[in-house]
Amino acid sequence: MKTFKSFGSLLLASSLIFSSIGNAVACTSLMMTDLNGNAYHGRTLEFSSIIPTAMTYFPAGTKIESVTPSGKQGKTFNTKYAILGMTAQALPTSKQVTFADGMNDHGLSFKVNWLNSTTGIPVTAEDSKLLSITDFGSWTLGNFKNVAELKAALESKETEFWLPVIKDFSPNPFPQHYNFVDKTGGNLVIEFTNNKMNVYDNPVGVMTNGPDFPWHLQNLNNYTFTNVDKNTGQLGKMPLATQDSGIALTALPSAQTSQGRFVKAAFYVNYVRKGKTPDEAMNLLAHVMNNFDRPYDLTIDGAGGSGDGIRGKGFSSEVTLWTTMSDLNRNQYYVRSINAMNFAVVDMNKLKSIKQIKSISSYDVDKAGADLFVVLNQ
């Protein structure tokens, strides 16, 4: 694998951070559509310490070799489609990196968010059908073009998934749930809770962290207001009038908890104007994602305790390490880190000549900027 800026050393540093510091993790994933029904997928990733991650490209035909719980050879396959996304090393025994976010070149996108209530599921299949959940992104994006194909594959049970426990990262088996979006607006959430896999159609286009997805949908019943301002009123004999617009947002949660972000994201997704063109839609998505961008020390957590992740021995502050956006019809992937305001953009249609895995540090992505395509093609 050709790498940039010693990707192997980044993975080692990442492993050391997970095992020694502990982190709180908060992410917001959301889908917006344009007036033609085309889908656009955005997300932020928050951690309470800076961890090394990378943008990685898997060309079509990349061999994926998963492992079993005992470390034996598990499911193997060659990807049908190219994959581009953000990665890290989750298991020391893994033969390939883990995608935490990404898209393929046929318009399927996925985002991984923290879920503390994740539980393991019984595994009964032979080794050749077992896939570590750390390879879930490679399997889904590498094999399926849309949500319908993915659902059918999950229902067939031709592949069984097992959830490893990563020491000192979380007491729960790999505590993540998964949001899939395709270019026509198909939207799916997959969770491993109550010792089984649960697959949900997503009617609001949003996913954050815990509690589980059905809880978030039920909680939306507490927010029946709309985006229409009520600018006048009266208390007794005193008439009331606002001095500015925006009072419709009064009841919108301001907390950065996963519960509050889910409500806020659902409001934005369902009320913000839809773009007429792909460029306009991506511009609108970028403005929406800015509302979930967390700078340093916006909130501070004390030592110990747990939330979306395990907190360390000192004070910590969750920050948005990176934000991604996917234009699923034009196969364009946008990334920016905490160190930048502008997005670097990669057009996957221009990567077809690349026949090997390539990676670049997510912070070097910012430095490359408009030259990122050139860097990937080196």
Quote the pLDDT of residue 317: 84
% residues pLDDT > 70 (the chain): 87
Q: Taking 70 as the threshold, does the pLDDT of residue 355 lie above it?
A: yes
With cut-offs at 50, 70 and 90, classify the pLDDT of residue 299. confident
Can you tell me the mean pLDDT for 340-366? 88
Quote the pLDDT of residue 227: 96
200-215 pLDDT, tens digit each: 999 999 999 999 999 9
216-243 pLDDT, tens digit each: 999 999 999 999 999 999 999 999 999 9
214-218, 272-276, 292-296, 301-305: least confidently modelled range: 301-305
Can you tell me the mean pLDDT for 159-184? 88
pTM comes to: 0.91
- Cα separation, 68 vs 62, in Å, equals 20
136-149 pLDDT, tens digit each: 999 999 999 999 99
